[in-house]
Amino acid sequence: MDLYQIKNLWKGALLLSAVAIGALTLWYTEQFAARLRAEEERRVELWAEAVTSIVQSDPEADLTLATRIIELNTTIPLILTDANGVVLNHRNLSARDTSSVAIEAELKRMMAYADPILVHLLPGVDQFIYRNESTNLRRLRFYPRFLLGIIGTYILLAYIGFSRARKAEQDRVWTGMARETAHQLGTPLSALYGWTALLEEDGASPAAVAEIKKDLARLQTVADRFSKIGIDGKGQLGDVSELVHHTVDYLQRRSSEDITFTVELPENFPHIPMQPVLLGWVVENLMRNAMDAMDGKGDLTISGQVLARKIILDVTDSGKGMTPRVKRSVFNPGFTTKTRGWGLGLSLSKRIIEAGHKGHLTVYRSAPGEGSTFRIELPS
């Protein structure tokens, strides 16, 4: 199990824990609310008994307790109707509108909320009490949801903030490593150029010296690429078509004869602001990955198109393709499916395109056994 799988497992476990805590909180709240609702029903029944006692009592009886029970209900909304459903009285309605229409609408909600409580006043005289949940009960249901929402929003914002800070720190680390690598390459390159001059003076084979110079030029290009990583800016106007053809020519001479290279670029490909050294590195890196995916045999196509305000480059191979999991992780620093390599190429390529050229680099299409297409989108 690699590092990213372990990290994803931790993320999944934390997410499941958060969902479980939220579900447990809501479940407990609902259980408590159900008990409170039952308690309110008993209070309304007691209220109904108090009303009955007052109506049926002897004129000289002490009705202080019954009257006190009726007065203590200040939170449970009630509507009293006769046997025909005509509203006789109401109490603790939350709506400010006390018109007959508003009260009838509230009565319908109460009918849907719970069954009415029968009040048997006199023989042949019955009334019904309808109720709704109290203000306290509504607050009890609302508060945990509100609190969980606030906590969830805070966690989300904190996660976004930490992720951006971590990404910025990773960018600084990779940029520092790249520039330090370029700096370290500078000294031996200068010495090697001097040795080639001495070899020419000593009459060494011109062909051998020429090949050494080509390799030194290649090393110098690599050093220039590393030194320019992290330098943001529009760069200079350049010909993307020429850059692509140059990269294809370079790799075609150094690849298997069983790989067929195809370039399909329109003739009106515009010149765009770019950093040629870095953009060429991205194209080369995508092509090398495509060649590795095909195991030295297949078709590699570089196609392009011009849209309204951007140009698109697609690097398509006929290799083994990627699973959805690999597609999601392929741009993460350190992720690689190869036995060799550090897994930095695609991560740096994405940063070069997005930070250095204000474009996008994505896996446009890929499936196991059907090859892959990486897409570069650049503003024109």
How many angstroms separate the CA atoms of 366 and 287, rounded?
A: 15
Q: Which helix (H) or strand (E) holds 309?
A: none
pLDDT at residue 286 greater than cutoff 90: yes
| First-to-last C-alpha distance (Å) of the chain | 43
pLDDT band at 314 (very low <50, low <70, confident <90, very high): very high
Radius of gyration of the chain (CA): 38
In this predicted model, what pLDDT tens digit does every residue of 58-108 receive, in sequence order?
Answer: 555 444 555 666 666 777 888 888 888 888 888 888 766 677 788 888 888
8 Å CB contact between 127 and 82: yes
How many angstroms separate the CA atoms of 259 and 289, rounded?
A: 13
How many angstroms separate the CA atoms of 338 and 341, rounded?
A: 7
CB count within 10 Å of CB 36 equals: 16
Q: What is the pTM of this model?
A: 0.55
DSSP secondary structure letter of residue 352: I
Task: Identify the pLDDT of residue 300.
Answer: 94
Q: Domain spanning 3-133 has what CATH number?
A: 3.30.450
Comparing C-alpha atoms, which of 346, 363, 359 is closest to residue 235?
A: 359
Share of the chain above pLDDT 70, in %: 88
* Arithmetic mean of pLDDT, 349-364: 89
Give the C-alpha distances (Å, rounded to integers) separating 199 from 217, 259, 289, 377: 17, 37, 36, 46
pLDDT band at 312 (very low <50, low <70, confident <90, very high): very high
Which tokens go with 84? Answer: 């025909």
The domain defined by 232-379 folds into Heat Shock Protein 90 (3.30.565)
What are the extents of the domains in the chain? 3-133, 138-214, 232-379
Indicate the average pLDDT of the chain: 82
* 3-133 and 232-379 have identical folds: no
- Comparing 120-129, 317-326, 345-354, the range with the smallest average pLDDT is 120-129
